[in-house]
Amino acid sequence: MILIYKFFTNIFYPFLILFTFFRKIKKKEDPIRYKEKIFVGSFKISRKKNSKLIWFHAASVGEMNSIIPIINELKKNNDNFEFLITTVTLSSGNLIKKKLQDSNNIHHRYFPLDVDFLIKKFVEMWKPNIVFFVDSEIWPNLIMNLHKNSIPFSVINARITKKTFKRWFLFKKTAKVIFSKFKLFLASNKETINYLNKLGASNIVYNGNIKLLSEINVKSISNLNKLALKKNKFWLSASTHDGEEDFCLKTHLLLKNEFNKLKTLIAPRHISRSEKIKKLCDNYNLNSQILNENDLINDESEIIIINSFGILNQFYKYAKSVFVGKSTLKILKNVGGQNPIDAAKLGCKIYHGPYIYNFSEIYEILKNLKISNQVNSPEELFSYLKQDLVQSKEVNTEVNSSINNLSNEIFEITMSNINRFILNEAL
């Protein structure tokens, strides 16, 4: 089956090039660096000869945020380490520019397609000493190539959902070949341990979910719109997908009857949809504003459409309540949910729809800490927001402390496991 996979990825390579180019036209890929995914000629190497290279592969923003504290900790204690970070999404590349751009021993590249000759060349050029996959990023051609070159690799925050398990189990023998090659799995939850055992993995350790490790430097958060946010009642809808803005605007209209000068902030998951959302606001006769990174909020604007990546924390900092999207549309039943951790760590009450499959464990933690609730309609969200907007932000201080204590415990366990693995396998 692995040979068949290798054959078909080679056969479909020209079509994958076209697909990537189409995504670039749709502005879903870096306009220049998209070539790193599809062409060997774009593999530019900049590592030092005598250093130890640790490669982290984190698909998107959520995974990237979770490993930044780990990388920073490894940097502190190991002058001879260099780090290669590969990601898939455009937003993850933008995040690295913001958070790690001053580090001369950290290299970012977009992950090449899992086509055998691309992977072979990439590994050959970078020559990593050790590799960490984050979450559920398991690519057969890459796994087999690393194993062939005797490069040790592990998964941190390993997560296998029921859906993913069923898919792998259809090819049980192939799964056993692939999963048995990993030296270590640091599992994010107990369910994953059970699935990994059935798939032929070994050396599995329960670690806890490292997505709780995301660091927030409150002092570095911009106060650009502090005045507007402090003097107005407002709530924030984050990471919304097409169809969810209607849900938010209906909630706004209900709240508008209760609060003067109410503002609703909407941060779409894909900012390319900002103009479309503004037209929807026009249909509701709501005064809206597209807010770019350095813009000020207008007094007369009712709906603020956030049109920039990486600035949500400046709004979380002052918000009492946040609705997290990709959670209300039935079409997203098996892929729903976005990461609510930053909002929770900054003291916000969290609300979400019923479809949170990808972050169900995180939401369960927040629910137990009495900081999150599911809502099924604009009317239900309205009833919660109505209560929140008359309360002080400091009401969640105790809960924040609980989240931070839990994340500190997970961080200590994670670093202990990672340091032990590096010492045993790569030094």
Whole-angstrom CA distances from 143 to 3, 119, 252 are 13, 10, 49
- Write the DSSP assignment of 217-273 as a string of letters: -GGGS--TTHHHHHHS-EEEEEEE-TTHHHHHHHHHHHHHTT-TT-EEEEEESSGGG
Over range 409-419, report the average pLDDT: 94
- pLDDT > 90: what percent of the chain? 69
Confidence class of residue 155 from pLDDT cuts 50, 70 and 90? Answer: very high
pLDDT reported for residue 101: 61
User: Which tens digits make up the pLDDT trace of 178-200?
Assistant: 999 999 999 998 889 999 999 99
CA dist., res. 393 & res. 65, Å (int): 25
CA dist., res. 349 & res. 340, Å (int): 10
Is pLDDT above 90 for 145? yes
Q: Is 263 exposed, middle or buried (0-12, 13-18, 19+ CB in 10 A)?
A: buried
Is pLDDT above 80 for 159? yes
Domain with CATH 3.40.50.2000 in the chain: 220-391
Maximum Cα–Cα distance across the chain:
66
The residue type of 130 is: I
Helix (H, G, I), strand (E, B) or coil at 136: coil
User: Which tens digits make up the pLDDT trace of 64-120?
Assistant: 888 999 998 998 878 889 999 999 988 787 777 777 666 778 899 999 999 999 999
Is pLDDT above 60 for 395? no
Who has greater pLDDT, 94 or 367? 367
Domain with CATH 3.40.50.11720 in the chain: 2-215+408-425
With a CB cutoff of 8 Å and minimum separation 6, the contacts of 387 are: none
The rounded mean pLDDT for the chain is 91
Q: Which helix (H) or strand (E) holds 305?
A: strand 303-306
CA dist., res. 77 & res. 395, Å (int): 38
CA dist., res. 251 & res. 311, Å (int): 24
CATH 3.40.190.10 fits 2-215+408-425, yes or no: no
Confidence (pTM): 0.79
CA dist., res. 217 & res. 367, Å (int): 25
With a CB cutoff of 8 Å and minimum separation 6, the contacts of 406 are: 208, 212, 365
pLDDT reported for residue 394: 67
pLDDT reported for residue 212: 87
Over range 33-52, report the average pLDDT: 90
CA dist., res. 102 & res. 288, Å (int): 37
Is pLDDT above 80 for 363? yes
With a CB cutoff of 8 Å and minimum separation 6, the contacts of 45 are: 125, 126
User: Which tens digits make up the pLDDT trace of 106-133?
Assistant: 899 999 999 999 999 999 999 999 999 9
pLDDT reported for residue 301: 96
Who has greater pLDDT, 91 or 289? 289
Quick one: the chain helix, strand, coil %, rounded to 5?
Answer: 50, 15, 35
Confidence class of residue 382 from pLDDT cuts 50, 70 and 90? Answer: very high
CATH fold label, 220-391:
Rossmann fold (3.40.50)
Count of beta carbons in the 10 Å neighbourhood of residue 413: 16
CA dist., res. 293 & res. 35, Å (int): 27
Q: Contact, 364 vs 386, CB < 8 A?
A: no
Half-sphere exposure of 59 (CA within 13 A, CB side): 10
CA dist., res. 229 & res. 377, Å (int): 26
pLDDT reported for residue 387: 93
CA dist., res. 222 & res. 294, Å (int): 10
Confidence class of residue 62 from pLDDT cuts 50, 70 and 90? Answer: confident
Q: Which of 38, 84, 92, 40 is nearest to 65 (CA)?
A: 92
Lowest-confidence range among 40-49, 173-182, 222-231, 276-285? 40-49
Q: Which helix (H) or strand (E) holds 413?
A: helix 397-425
Residue written as token pair 């990994």: 196
